[in-house]
């Protein structure tokens, strides 16, 4: 068992409250590194007094996410959450993201062929065209521009419109609902309303697609799975809600964060501009270093389990912290250094195990296209405000920026 003498996360007494404060742009809470060094399976206390455990090292993260003694079912009363509002949202989740097997795999299989690598790569020319159009609009508008509003929000919205089949004019509403789910400061009622609103939007969209069938993702799923009776409309509405919010929100935040990070590392940006072969490794390093999903994946122990020398009791919550394991020095040499030439980069930003992100291929293509085209079009791009004046999303489960004023 790790020496708990210098460890503030011991389960003897009252462990510290979680989540920890984050207020240093690209630095993680200092408690993550402390835990990795002294007690990598670290006890914490949640808002409701529930004991939970943080997995801060890569090996423990992978071990738990493959262990069927841990449940990922959001509906469980003992499932861990970072706020009361998040608990309210979890209880409303009906998509497979909050299910265990065999139910998880049954629903997920209906959507996997929509997200194959081949299908995502086939979208690349469309994504390049959409990105080019947005950059043209920025150039015509002239500086200063808000890169969040003018590019980071717009590109994923346009891509999802073409892939999923949601009307482009609905993007603002979808993003509003997604943000209402992810914030850490809203009330439980407000969070639940945001979740319900997006599901209702999807019910209406499904009804519209049934009246006017289309050859898009939603149209194909209705044809292949709803019409034959494999999938009911309510289950589809909940899955659609999950796909829409994931397809809009996470990529939006990665674009804005990634631009600032590159601008703050001019040597890395210069190398990126000079060598197109660095596009893919640069995106993987951005994903590793930024890890925008702050408090996931989550699990709850179904029985007493020993992990890393610590006994996680039945009913204890577990936060497998992707941002922390992506900075584990046992897996990533010099992990706090941002290095786009890093070649071995098996980061966990898309999760691990059965719940690994379904849309990771799409996100990768979008990010590879947008960063390459942005800096080709605007090689002198820079922020219009110093780093300490930029509005980072410290109050959200999905880390990012509210605004990013830029000039060129």
What are the residues facing 319 on neighbouring strands? 54, 298
Q: Which two tokens stand for residue 403?
A: 């605004």
The pair of structure tokens assigned to 41 is 């399976």
Single out the residue of 281, 248, 245, 243 nearest to residue 371, CA to CA.
Answer: 281
Q: DSSP labels for 353-383?
A: GGGS-TTHHHHHHHHHHHHHHHHHH-TT-EE
Round to whole Å and give the CA distance between 211 and 213: 6
Contact criterion met (CB below 8 Å) for 179 and 76: no
3-state secondary structure of 211: helix
The set of residues, in sequence order, having a beta carbon less than 8 Å from that of 68 and lying 6+ positions away, is 101
318 forms beta bridges with 53, 299
d(Cα 249, Cα 171) in Å, to the nearest integer? 11
Q: Are 29 and 1 within 8 A, CB to CB?
A: no
Asked if the structure places residue 20 within a domain, the reply is no
Tokens of 390: 């930029």
For residue 233 the two structure tokens come to 């409309």
Strands 51-55 and 317-320: parallel
Nearest residue to 257 via CA among 383, 109, 87? 383
Quick check: is 365 in a domain?
yes
Q: Is 311 helix (H, G, I), strand (E, B) or coil?
A: strand
Give the integer Cα–Cα distance in Å for 67 and 318. 12
- The count of domains in the chain is 1
Displacement of CA 282 from its chain's centroid (Å)? 18
Cα–Cα distance measured from residue 138 to residue 176, given in angstroms and rounded to the nearest whole number: 23
> Mean pLDDT for each 10-residue chunk of the chain (408 residues)?
52 84 91 95 96 97 98 96 90 93 97 93 95 98 96 92 86 79 74 88 95 93 96 96 86 96 98 98 98 96 96 97 98 97 94 96 97 98 96 91 97
pLDDT given at position 344:
84
CA dist 163 and 361 (Å) reads 13
* Position 22 in a domain: no
Q: How far is CA 19 from CA 15, 87, 222, 307, in A?
A: 12, 14, 40, 21
Q: Is residue 50 part of a domain?
A: yes
Q: Is 4 within the bounds of a domain?
A: no
Q: Determine, yes or no, domain membership for 190.
A: yes
Q: What is the largest CA-CA distance in the chain?
A: 66
Helix (H, G, I), strand (E, B) or coil at 173: helix
Residue 214 CA, chain-centre distance (Å), reads 29
Helix axes 84-92, 188-211, angle to 10 degrees: 30
- Contacts for 334 with CB less than 8 Å, ≥ 6 apart: none
Count of helices and strands (H, E) across the chain: 16, 10
Coil, strand or helix at 292? coil
The residue among 375, 407, 366, 368 whose CA lies nearest residue 163 is 366
* Residues linked to residue 17 through DSSP beta bridges, in sequence order: 45
Could you list the residue range(s) of the whole structural domain that residue 156 is in? 30-407
Asked if the structure places residue 8 within a domain, the reply is no
| Phi, psi of 362, rounded to the nearest 5 degrees | -65, -45
Domain with residue 160: its CATH number is 1.10.630.10
Residue 212 lies in a domain: yes
């Amino acid at each position: 068992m790790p020496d708990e003498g210098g460890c503030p996360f011991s389960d003897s007494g009252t462990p510290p409250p979680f989540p920890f404060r984050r207020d240093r742009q690209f630095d993680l809470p200092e408690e993550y590194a402390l835990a990795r060094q002294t007690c990598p399976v670290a006890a914490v206390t949640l808002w409701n007094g529930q004991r939970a455990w943080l997995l801060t090292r890569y090996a423990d993260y992978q071990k738990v996410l493959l262990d069927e003694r841990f449940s990922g079912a959001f509906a469980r009363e003992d499932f861990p959450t970072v706020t009361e509002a998040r608990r309210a949202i979890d209880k409303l989740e009906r998509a497979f993201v909050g299910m265990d097997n065999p139910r998880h795999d049954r629903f997920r299989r209906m959507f996997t062929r929509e997200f194959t690598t081949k299908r995502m790569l086939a979208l690349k020319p469309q994504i390049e065209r959409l990105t080019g159009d947005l950059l043209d609009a920025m150039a015509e508008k002239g500086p200063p521009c808000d890169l969040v509003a003018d590019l980071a929000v717009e590109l994923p919205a346009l891509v999802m419109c073409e892939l999923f089949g949601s009307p482009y004019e609905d993007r603002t509403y979808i993003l509003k609902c997604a943000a209402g789910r992810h914030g850490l400061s809203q009330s439980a009622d407000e969070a639940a309303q945001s979740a319900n609103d997006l599901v209702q939007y999807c019910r209406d969209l499904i009804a519209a697609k049934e009246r006017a069938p289309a050859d898009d993702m939603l149209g194909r799923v209705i044809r292949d799975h709803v019409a034959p009776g494999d999938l009911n409309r309510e289950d589809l509405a909940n899955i659609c809600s999950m796909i829409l919010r994931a397809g809009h929100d996470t990529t939006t935040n990665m674009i804005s964060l990634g631009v600032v990070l590159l601008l703050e590392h001019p040597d890395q940006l210069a190398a990126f501009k000079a060598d197109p072969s660095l596009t893919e490794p640069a995106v993987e390093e951005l994903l590793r270093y930024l890890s925008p999903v702050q408090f996931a994946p989550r699990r709850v122990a179904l029985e007493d389990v020993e992990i890393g020398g610590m006994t996680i009791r039945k009913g204890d919550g577990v936060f497998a912290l992707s941002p922390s394991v992506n900075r584990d020095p046992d897996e990533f040499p010099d992990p706090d250094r941002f290095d786009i030439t890093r070649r071995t980069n098996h980061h966990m930003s898309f999760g691990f195990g059965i719940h690994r992100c379904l849309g990771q291929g799409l996100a990768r293509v979008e990010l590879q296209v947008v960063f390459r085209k942005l800096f080709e079009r605007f090689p002198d791009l820079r922020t219009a405000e110093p780093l300490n004046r930029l509005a980072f999303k410290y109050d959200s489960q999905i880390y990012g920026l509210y605004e990013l004023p830029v000039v060129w």
